[in-house]
Amino acid sequence: MSLPTITRMTIVPVAGHDSFLLNLSGGHAPWFVRCVLILEDNAGNRGVGEIPSSEGILKGLEKCRSLVEGTRLNAWKGTLNNARQLLARGGPEERGRQTFDLRVAVHVLTAIESALLDLYGQAVEMPVADLLGRMGRQRDEVEALGYLFLLGDPKKTDLPYPIAENPRDDWERLRCQEALTPEAVAELARAAHERYGFRDFKLKGGVLAGEQEADCIRAMHEIFPEARLTLDPNGAWSLEEAIRVLEPIRHILSYAEDPCGQEGSWSGRETMTEFKRRTGLRTATNMIATDFKQLQYAAIMNSVDIPLADCHFWTMQGAVMVGELCDEWGMTWGSHSNNHFDISLAMMTHVAAACPGEITAIDTHWIWQDGQRLTEQPFEIRDGKLNVPTTPGLGVTLDQGKLDEAHALYRSLDVRARNDATAMQYLIDGWTFDPKRPALVR
424/430 Cα distance (integer angstroms): 8
244/157 Cα distance (integer angstroms): 35
183/167 Cα distance (integer angstroms): 21
204-255 per-position pLDDT tens digit? 999 999 999 999 999 999 999 999 999 999 999 999 999 999 999 999 999 9
Residue type, 411: R
- pLDDT score for 95: 57
- pLDDT score for 94: 62
Residue 335 labelled as part of a binding site: no
Nearest to 144 by CA among 381, 397, 362: 362
**Residues designated catalytic:** 204, 336
Determine whether 280 is exposed, middle or buried from the number of CB atoms within 10 Å of its CB (0-12, 13-18, 19+).
exposed
What is the side-by-side strand order in the sheet with 46-52?
6-17, 31-41, 46-52
Residue 25 labelled as part of a binding site: no
User: What pairing do the DSSP bridges indicate for beta strands 283-285 and 253-257?
Assistant: parallel
Mean pLDDT of 56-69: 98
Chain centroid offset of residue 42 CA: 33
List, in order of start, the domains of the chain with CATH numbers.
6-132+400-411 (3.30.390.10), 141-387 (3.20.20.120)
Could you give the percent of the chain with pLDDT greater than 90? 96
Q: Is the pTM of this model over 0.85?
A: yes
| pLDDT band of 100, cuts 50, 70, 90 | low
Residue 202 labelled as part of a binding site: yes
Mean pLDDT of 184-201: 99
- pLDDT score for 103: 85
221/216 Cα distance (integer angstroms): 9
286/289 Cα distance (integer angstroms): 6
Check: CB of residue 343 under 8 Å from CB of residue 36: yes
Residue 28 labelled as part of a binding site: yes
411/355 Cα distance (integer angstroms): 37
- pLDDT score for 2: 86
State the DSSP string of 332-382: -BB----S--HHHHHHHHHHHHH--S-BPPBP--HHHHTT--SBSS---EE
Check: CB of residue 257 under 8 Å from CB of residue 230: yes
Check: CB of residue 202 under 8 Å from CB of residue 148: yes
Residue 99 labelled as part of a binding site: yes
86: CB partners within 8 A, 6+ apart: 63, 64, 67
Residue 233 labelled as part of a binding site: yes
- The answer, yes or no, to whether residue 366 has pLDDT greater than 80, is yes
- pLDDT score for 90: 80
Check: CB of residue 189 under 8 Å from CB of residue 175: no
Q: What is the DSSP letter of 72?
A: B
- pLDDT score for 96: 60
Residue 263 labelled as part of a binding site: yes
User: What pairing do the DSSP bridges indicate for beta strands 385-387 and 141-143?
Assistant: antiparallel
Computed over every residue of the chain, the mean pLDDT equals 97
- pLDDT score for 97: 61
Residue 340 labelled as part of a binding site: no
